[in-house]
C-alpha cells in the first residue's frame, strides 16, 4: 500500500463519529456469529481495497456485519463477497474467484472497491446523517483514484452517493435514476448502476452471474478506451 493511502486508511480506522454505528459495530463484534466465535472481529471502519491506479471503481453500501466488519477488508468473508468475486473473476478483473480473508492472495486488476459508508448499519439501513458524516472519506478516496474512468455503483444507496458527490463537487445538475445497467456520463466519468450482490437480490434472482458479469465487461470496455 502506498504512503498516502496508508495514512488515509489509518485516519478512517480511527473514526468514531457516528454513535449508533459505533455501538452496533461493537455489539456485532462482541456477540459474533456462532461459526466465527473463535475469531477476533476487525471492529473498525473499513477502507477501500484494490488497485490505486485503477480506471474502474466499484462502490458498495457498507461493510457486512460478519463479512468486512469481521475480516477488515471490503467484500470479504460473506455471501455477497462470494457472489461478487465469482463475477469479477469471470470478467477478468481479479486473480481468483474467492475473497475469504485478508491473506488469501486476492488481487484486483485495474479495479478499486470502496464503500458509501465505512461502518455496518443495523439492517443495512444507514441514516442520512451517517452517510453525510462518512461522505468526506468517500470524497477524499475518490479524489485519490486519479485514473478513474468508470464507476459501478452496487445498489441505489451507492449510486445516490456517487451522484451526490458529483453534484456537490462539480456543480452538476439534472436527474439521475438508479437502474441496473443504466449508465450516465458525468464530468468525464461513466457511472453505471448495478444491483447489489446481496443474498436477497441473488436469491430472488434480481441479480444473477451473467447480469453482473455483463456490467463488469461493459466497465472493462469503457476503461480500455
- Interface contacts to ligand SF4, rule CB under 6 A: 12, 15-18, 21-22, 45, 117-119, 130, 133-134
**Residue (12 or 157) nearer to ligand SF4, CB:** 12
- 1 burial via Cβ count (<10 Å: 0-12, 13-18, 19+): exposed
**Residue (29 or 133) nearer to ligand SF4, CB:** 133
Strand order in the sheet with 183-186: 49-50, 111-115, 56-60, 150-154, 189-194, 183-186
**Residue (45 or 72) nearer to ligand SF4, CB:** 45
**Residue (63 or 91) nearer to ligand SF4, CB:** 63
DSSP letters for 200-223 = HHHHTTSS-HHHHHHHHHHHHHHH
- 205 burial via Cβ count (<10 Å: 0-12, 13-18, 19+): exposed
Instruction: Give least dist CB 137 to ligand SF4, A.
Output: 6
Instruction: Give least dist CB 121 to ligand SF4, A.
Output: 8
Q: Is the separation of the CB atoms in 94 and 88 below 8 Å?
A: yes
**Distances 74 to 69, 85, 192, 218, 221 between C-alpha atoms, Å:** 8, 12, 20, 23, 24
Give the Cα separation of 20 and 17 in Å (integer).
Answer: 9
**Residue (130 or 141) nearer to ligand SF4, CB:** 130
Instruction: Give least dist CB 9 to ligand SF4, A.
Output: 11
Centre a 10 Å sphere on the Cβ of residue 97 and count the other Cβ atoms it contains: 14
Instruction: Give least dist CB 127 to ligand SF4, A.
Output: 10
**Residue (45 or 67) nearer to ligand SF4, CB:** 45
Instruction: Give least dist CB 45 to ligand SF4, A.
Output: 4
Instruction: Give least dist CB 18 to ligand SF4, A.
Output: 3
Amino acid at each position: 500500500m502506498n504512503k498516502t493511502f496508508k495514512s488515509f486508511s489509518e485516519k478512517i480506522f480511527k473514526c468514531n463519529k457516528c454513535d449508533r454505528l459505533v455501538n452496533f459495530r461493537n455489539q456485532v463484534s462482541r456477540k459474533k456469529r456462532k461459526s466465527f466465535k473463535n475469531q477476533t472481529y476487525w471492529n473498525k471502519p473499513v477502507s477501500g481495497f484494490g488497485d490505486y491506479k485503477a480506471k474502474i471503481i466499484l462502490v458498495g453500501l457498507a461493510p457486512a456485519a460478519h463479512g468486512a466488519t469481521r475480516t477488515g477488508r471490503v467484500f470479504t468473508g460473506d455471501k455477497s463477497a462470494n457472489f461478487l468475486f465469482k463475477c469479477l473473476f469471470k470478467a477478468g478483473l481479479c486473480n481468483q474467484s474467492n475473497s475469504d480473508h485478508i491473506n488469501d492472495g486476492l488481487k484486483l486488476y485495474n479495479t478499486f472497491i470502496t464503500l458509501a459508508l465505512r461502518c455496518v448499519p443495523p439492517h443495512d439501513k444507514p441514516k442520512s446523517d451517517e452517510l453525510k458524516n462518512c461522505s468526506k472519506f468517500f470524497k477524499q478516496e475518490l479524489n485519490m483514484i486519479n485514473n478513474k474512468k468508470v464507476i459501478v455503483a452496487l445498489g441505489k444507496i451507492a449510486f445516490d452517493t456517487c451522484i451526490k458527490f458529483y453534484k456537490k463537487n462539480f456543480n452538476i445538475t439534472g436527474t439521475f435514476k438508479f437502474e441496473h445497467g443504466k449508465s450516465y456520463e458525468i464530468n468525464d466519468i461513466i457511472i453505471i448502476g448495478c444491483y447489489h450482490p446481496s443474498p436477497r437480490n441473488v436469491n430472488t434472482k434480481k441479480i444473477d452471474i451473467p447480469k453482473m458479469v455483463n456490467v463488469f465487461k461493459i466497465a472493462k470496455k469503457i476503461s480500455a478506451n
